[in-house]
Amino acid sequence: MDIQGLPGRLLADLGPAIASGEIAEGAVLRIEELEERFDVSRTVVREAVRMLESMQLVASRRRVGITVRPRSDWDVFNPTLIAWRLAGADRPAQLRSLGSLRVAVEPAAAGLAAVHADDDQRRRLGALATEMTMTGRAGDLDAFLRHDADFHATVLQASGNEMFAHLGATVEAVLRGRTEHHLMPHHPEEYAVQLHREVAEAITTGDATAAERAMRAIVTGALEELDAVLD
């Protein structure tokens, strides 16, 4: 989500406050109060509220105000909301929730990708696995993150399942959160990088069983490492 300018700055204050529970479910915000508190125009407030509404965080009604919706209504797959939750006290629960989602989805996606990936996707996965190997050994975590996120997004897209493909940004958000919040080793584990190479090779050769097995090892290993760090 593009959150530039004054609406973006207002959103950057309100969003994390709602996501963290600082502004509780059911709380009612008034446009006039937000104008005064943040010294912005009504137009700016309305634009920020519109973006919060798109994430299902608030509902705006005439004569009532802007009401914070129950957590169960939130668009929990939204990458911006994920980033806000990862930045707050909700981080452990958010990471574990996303980790469990990956365990449920990504192995199946890898198995499907071995059947449905096109030639370009197969070549891209091989190239990304090579880039991950080099940047991982060099300890370049920023570059490694980019290649890692692209790798998993490509697998999800190559599955041929549009629902899986739509989760690429969600997976990137959790990978980015782990790196930005220092939950990754300074040098990615070699065994994890090797597993990515195995996924790429299995998808390239059309071995669905091997692709699913290697991806399951990646995502379960990541969740176990995360549990160890958080504990």
Is residue 72 exposed (0-12), middle (13-18) or buried (19+ Cβ within 10 Å)? Answer: exposed
Highest-scoring range by mean pLDDT, 3-12, 92-101, 119-128: 119-128
Alpha helices, DSSP H only, in the chain?
5-20, 31-38, 42-54, 79-86, 91-116, 119-138, 141-158, 162-165, 168-180, 190-205, 208-230
What fold characterizes domain 5-72? Answer: Arc Repressor Mutant, subunit A (1.10.10)
This prediction has a pTM of 0.86
Long-range pairs, 181-186, Cβ under 8 A, ≥24? 181/86, 181/87, 181/91, 183/95, 183/226, 183/229, 183/230, 184/141, 186/139, 186/141
**38-52, 131-145, 172-186: segment of lowest average pLDDT:** 172-186
Answer with the residue of higher pLDDT: 90 or 212. 212
Q: How far apart are CA 14 and CA 71, in angstroms?
A: 15
Residues 6+ apart with CB under 8 A from 168: 149, 152, 153, 156, 157
For 28, which DSSP code? E
What's the pLDDT score for residue 78?
Answer: 92
The tokens for 105 are 């989805």
Per-residue pLDDT tens over the stretch 81-121: 998 998 888 888 898 999 999 999 999 999 999 999 999 99
Residue range(s) in the chain whose domain bears CATH number 1.10.10.10: 5-72
What fold characterizes domain 79-230? Answer: Four Helix Bundle (Hemerythrin (Met), subunit A) (1.20.120)
Residue range(s) in the chain whose domain bears CATH number 1.20.120.530: 79-230
